[in-house]
Structure 1
Amino acid sequence: MDIFLLFFISSLLPGICTYAVPGQKPSLRFVALGDWGGLPLPPYTTRQQELVAEEMGKTVAKLGADFILSLGDNFYYDGVTDVSDPRFKITFESVYNAESLINLPWFILAGNHDHKGNVSAQIAYTNVSKRWNYPDYYYDLSFTVPGSNVTVRLLMLDTVELCGNSDDFRDGQPRGPTNLKTAGSQLEWLVEKLQSAKEDYLLVAGHYPVWSVAEHGPTNCLLHSVEPLLKKYKVTAYLCGHEHNMQYLQDDQGIGYMLSGAGNFMENSQVHEDDVPKGYLKFFQGDPDTMGAFAFIEITPKEMTITYVQSDGKCLYQTTLYPRTF
């Protein structure tokens, strides 16, 4: 166990989490954070967002990271207006400003609240900020685990273009794509990328969840169009936000469904528990008193470890997935 740091946590929590000491074994590390987008009025942030950002800085300072994955709803409640919108600075640049975070690239996708504003301005901000990487509505990323020949593919989706926008205060289901041709093109792209993916780890990320027990529940559109593809092409995990809590689900094929949506708000409902197959839900945390959380992912040649970290630094839950087999 000499290559591990053990973080001993409260007996009220599920157990002990282990983190490899940076530099002692090859790994790719990143933070996954969703629904972090502050407020549209002063102070343009929430206390929860600030606390989560502070703990992200501390965790990355201890453990290292290669990038941050943003899972959408980057700016509440109506996105941004243009590339000069002050929200970029007030809600993003000035919040995630710890020394350990300041030079990390962020890879961005859009959520339903971003689509209420100008998503093309968020894409254009890529040319303004050295941290902000958002080349198109959907795109793919490829990585190699440092010190190895193990490969990782990450497919970034725009689930709002695929399924339509949604009303957070009604039934929550997307209303269908506004442009069927655009949605169809993205789905064709996804199939092509999945068919050709030979990487050891294959991840797909989008804002809407495939499976969720919380306020919005499973996204019917994604269950119809995306979930069969995840199974067919042996995807390692689907990463998402949208629900303002933390969830981990795993299906009967072993695909992980990591939901990290506690960057700004917390919501504790499990109203859709009966809409998820029995046994899928492995972890849920939505207690508002906990003031948010994020996920820390480490990928090594042997395994992918997902750790849920609370804003006070406590490890909430940890699970492991393994490389694909062909």
Structure 2
Amino acid sequence: MRSISNLKWQATVGLLCAFLTSSLFAADSLHFVALGDTGSGGPDQKKVAEAIAKYAETNKGSNAVDFVLLLGDNFYSDGVKTVDDPQWQDKFEKMYDAKRLPMPFYVVLGNHDWRNDAPDAELEYSKVHPDSRWKMDGHFFKRQFPSKPDNTNTAPLVDFFFIDTEAWNTKSPHISAYPDKHLGDKQMAWLENELKASRAKWKIAVAHHPLYSNGEHGHDAQVLELRKRLEPLFKRYGVNAFITGHDHDLERIEVPGHPTLFLISGAGSKLRKQTYDEWKPFYASQLGFLAVELDEKEMRGEFQNVDNQVIDVWKRISTAASQATVRK
């Protein structure tokens, strides 16, 4: 018969192994929500906010939502003027219940956020209110998860590249009025350098304007120009997903032969009807949001509407995992 001390030792080892396994899993997985075109402050924005809160409440513990992505047009119709603008409370702080959604919100700018010629107010808010959930490090910035890999030989799970696609809109009077006349050029050089240097298992770009869309903006000159600008980089450096808003709908677009999955989640407070039927496999003109989970082997996602009904489900296998399967 085993001694009591031996049983206690085995129990302790078992708990330690379980803790380490849990910690490793937490470091090697990620769960986030994405939505854009949110800043109406009206009842439809509130419906989507409530649906996200319910979703977060049903996903707790090891599967909790780590953060939220806001995909631009954060304040309709003309952005905010200062860090003290009342819209901060009405359209963000109070709109997304801090008790039910306490996680960080990583944010990019949209075209409407430029219209007061004060886009930097949204950047400054993070600095003036460091305790806020609102996180915007600049017009373009990177976030890496885990943020501090355990050693220099460990590749991070995912790199997120947040970009300001409106900064490349040379026809915009708001861009022309911006003090830094080289903002777009600096962003382009930064993006290529960061993509080239990334060792992450997953690379995800986040912005406001899409490259492909079946919505109203699908054939806009600006969108087509962005496609020429960004598509070569995405192909060259293996960007796994491009998450955007701008068109007020939910879309999943898989372009044949393209490594990038194009995801549009622009139904955060407004809707438009479908304009084109060129890209497959999913389109919905419904208020809702995108939810994504990923680990080293695969990325899984779904679109949910404001009734928390799942209206689309998808999965992508990582390049490393698929190569390992082939070798077996």
The answer to whether the aligner puts 1:73 opposite 2:73 as a matched pair is: yes
Question: Which residue of 2 is the match for residue 88 of structure 1?
Answer: 88
CA contact under 8 A between 1:32 and 1:70: conserved in structure 2?
yes
For the pair 1:137 / 2:139, whether they are aligned, the reply is yes
- Distance change in 2, residues 1:258/1:23 (3 Å): farther
The structure that has the greater radius of gyration is 2
Identity across matched positions, percent: 29
Are the counterparts in 1 of residues 156 and 199 from structure 2 also a CA contact under 8 Å?
Answer: no
Look up the match of 2:202.
Answer: 201
Amino acid at match of 1:249: I
Matches within 5 A, 1:148-163: 151-163=157-169
Q: Give the 3-state SS of the residue equivalent to 1:81 in structure 2.
A: coil
Where does 1:1-326 land on structure 2 (aligned, <5 Å)?
Answer: 26=26, 27-38=29-40, 45-63=41-59, 64-97=64-97, 99-101=99-101, 103-117=102-116, 118-127=118-127, 128=129, 129-144=131-146, 151-164=157-170, 181-218=182-219, 219-251=223-255, 252-271=257-276, 273=277, 276=278, 280-286=279-285, 290=286, 292-325=287-320
Q: Secondary structure at the match of 1:53?
A: helix
Name the amino acid aligned to 1:222. L
Task: Tell me what 1:14 maps to.
Answer: none
What SS class does the counterpart of residue 89 from structure 2 fall into?
helix
What are the Cα deviations for residues 86-107 of structure 1, in whole angstroms up to 9, with x where unaligned? Answer: 0000111111016220x21011
Q: By percentage of residues, which structure has more helix? A: 2
Question: Kindly tell me: are residues 177 and 95 of structure 1, through their superposed partners in 2, closer, same or farther at Cα, counting changes over 3 Å?
Answer: same
Please report how far the alpha carbon of residue 224 of structure 1 lies from its aligned counterpart in structure 2 after TM superposition. Answer: 1.1
Report the residue type matching 2:39 in the other structure: G
Query: CA shift at 1:166, angstroms?
Result: 6.6
Q: Take 1:88 and 1:188, find their aligned partners in 2: how far apart are those partners?
A: 32
Q: Supply the AA of the counterpart residue of 2:224.
A: N
Q: Is the 8 A contact 2:35 2:266 kept in 1?
A: yes
- Write the distance in 2 (CA, Å) between the matches of 1:166 and 1:75: 18
Matches of 1:216 and 1:175 in 2, distance apart? Answer: 20
Q: Aligned partner of 1:76: which letter?
A: Y
- Which letter maps to 1:50? K
Distance 1:55 1:24, change over 3 A: farther
Read off the aligned partner of 1:46 and give its amino acid letter: G
User: What is the rounded CA distance, in whole Å, between the counterparts of 1:191 and 1:74 in structure 2?
Assistant: 26
Compute the displacement of 1:185 (Å). 1.2
Q: 1:177 touches 1:183 (CA, 8 Å); kept in 2?
A: no
Give deviations 1:218-264, integer Å, cap 9, x for gaps: 51121111011101111100010000000000122242000000001
Please give the alpha-carbon distance, in whole angstroms, between the structure 1 residues aligned to 2:138 and 2:110.
14
- Structure 1: unaligned runs, 5 residues or longer: 1-21, 39-44, 168-173
Shift of 1:180: 5.9
User: SS state of the match for residue 31, structure 1?
Assistant: strand
Cα separation, 2, equivalents of 1:323 and 1:46: 39
The number of aligned residues is 282
Any gaps of 5 or more consecutive residues in structure 2?
A: 1-21, 324-328
Specify whether residues 52 and 302 from structure 1 end up closer, same or farther in structure 2 by C-alpha distance, changes over 3 A only: same
User: What SS is found at the alignment partner of 2:142?
Assistant: strand
Alpha-carbon distance between aligned partners in 2 of 1:119 and 1:175, rounded to the nearest angstrom: 10
Report if aligned partners of 1:163, 1:221 keep a CA contact under 8 Å in 2.
no
Rounded Cα–Cα distance in structure 1 between residues aligned with 2:296 and 2:195: 21
> Which digits, 9 at most, give the CA deviation of each residue in 1:173-205, with x for residues without a partner?
x99997762211110111101111111000011
Given residue 234 of structure 1, which amino acid in structure 2 is its aligned partner? G
